[in-house]
């Protein structure tokens, strides 16, 4: 959502969003916000904000990846979303966050004082419309993910995830293109509702079946896109994430 400031485009690259919402920046809005912003960088692995913490700022991810997650008392954790450049941390109208936010890679945030941001949401109709669109897109994506979590097999989950990563990289879809995996096996597991061992095994199995190759543990290439898409369990037509 780079209507707020356009250091970075977030157009359709978010793994968890359907429609691009950028490329329609309004100059006046930018001007209003220009004086309000401040930047902050968080190192890989560090918490950005904990569930229940008081929300002083509404921030937008400028670079890097953050995760939204919830951990149950006994340590089971579920990642409920990845925040990529242009995604927001904090919602206007909420005084706390309901999930833990953690820097998956080094993350740079652009922050706005929450009160000012909320004032803006009320005064500039354009902005609430954009936030509305974003929220509706993410709601849709969250629901797609619910289908994955509730009904897909381990292999389908992994295939869906890999396809999402590939799609996000947004390069022409002929094979041979290398992609990089921003998450550890454990983070992938927590995103897919699996264990890290199962993730590892499924990736190995896809290697064995010549669907993927890994040049190193974070870099892979799709050898058989059709097989990958087949393995997602989704209809061929429509219904895709992103």
Partner DNA sequence: CAACAACTTTGACCCAGATCAACTTTATGA
Partner DNA sequence: TCATAAAGTTGATCTGGGTCAAAGTTGTTG
Judged by the rule CB under 7 A, the positions of this chain that interact with DNA are 153-155, 184-186, 193-201, 203-204, 214, 216-218
Residue 161, phi-psi category: left (phi > 0), alpha (psi -120 to 50), beta (remainder) = alpha
Give the contact letters, 118-157, x = binds to a copy of itself (CB under 8 A), - = no.
---xx--x--xx-xxx-xx-xxx-xxxxxx-xxxx-----
Query: Nearest distance from residue 216's CB to DNA, in Å?
Result: 6
Determine contact, residues 156/231, Cβ cutoff 8 Å. Answer: yes
- Partner whose binding site includes residue 133, from a copy of itself, DNA, none (CB under 5 to 8 Å by kind): a copy of itself
169 burial level (CB within 10 Å; 0-12, 13-18, 19+): middle
Q: Tokens in use for 7?
A: 């250091």
C-beta of 56 vs 180, nearer to DNA: 180
- Partner whose binding site includes residue 146, from DNA, a copy of itself, none (CB under 5 to 8 Å by kind): a copy of itself
d(CA 83, CA 103): 9
Q: How far is CA 96 from the centre of its chain?
A: 20
Q: Tokens in use for 42?
A: 């968080």
C-beta of 101 vs 192, nearer to DNA: 192
Give the contact letters, 59-98, x = binds to a copy of itself (CB under 8 A), - = no.
---------x-x-xx--xxx-xx---------xxxx---x
d(CA 199, CA 213): 15
Site for a copy of itself contains 239 (CB under 8 A)? yes
Determine contact, residues 232/159, Cβ cutoff 8 Å. Answer: yes
Determine contact, residues 161/241, Cβ cutoff 8 Å. Answer: no
**Chain residues 178-237 in contact with a copy of itself, contact rule CB under 8 A:** 192-193, 233-235
d(CA 89, CA 48): 9
Q: Which residues bind a copy of itself (CB under 8 A)?
A: 51-52, 68, 70, 72-73, 76-78, 80-81, 91-94, 98-99, 121-122, 125, 128-129, 131-133, 135-136, 138-140, 142-147, 149-152, 192-193, 233-235, 238-239
């Amino acid at each position: 959502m780079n209507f707020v400031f356009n250091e970075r485009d977030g157009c359709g690259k978010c793994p968890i969003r359907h429609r691009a919402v950028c490329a329609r920046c309004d100059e006046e809005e930018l001007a209003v916000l220009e004086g309000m912003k401040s930047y902050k960088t968080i190192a890989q692995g560090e918490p950005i904000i904990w569930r229940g913490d008081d929300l002083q700022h509404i921030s937008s991810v400028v670079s890097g990846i953050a995760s939204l997650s919830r951990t149950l008392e006994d340590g089971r954790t579920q990642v409920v979303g990845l925040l990529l450049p242009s995604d927001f941390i904090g919602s206007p109208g909420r005084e706390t966050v309901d999930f833990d936010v953690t820097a998956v890679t080094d993350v740079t945030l652009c922050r706005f004082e929450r009160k000012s941001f909320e004032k803006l949401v009320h005064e500039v109709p354009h902005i609430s419309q954009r936030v509305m669109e974003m929220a509706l897109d993410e709601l849709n994506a969250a629901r797609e993910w619910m289908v994955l979590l509730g009904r897909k097999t381990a292999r389908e989950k992994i295939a869906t995830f890999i396809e999402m990563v590939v799609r996000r990289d947004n390069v022409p879809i002929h094979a041979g293109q290398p992609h990089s995996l921003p998450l550890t096996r454990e983070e992938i597991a927590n995103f897919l509702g699996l264990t890290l061992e199962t993730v590892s095994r499924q990736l190995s199995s896809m290697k064995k079946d010549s669907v993927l190759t890994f040049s190193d543990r974070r870099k892979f290439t799709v050898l058989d896109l059709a097989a990958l898409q087949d393995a997602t369990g989704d209809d061929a037509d429509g219904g895709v994430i992103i």
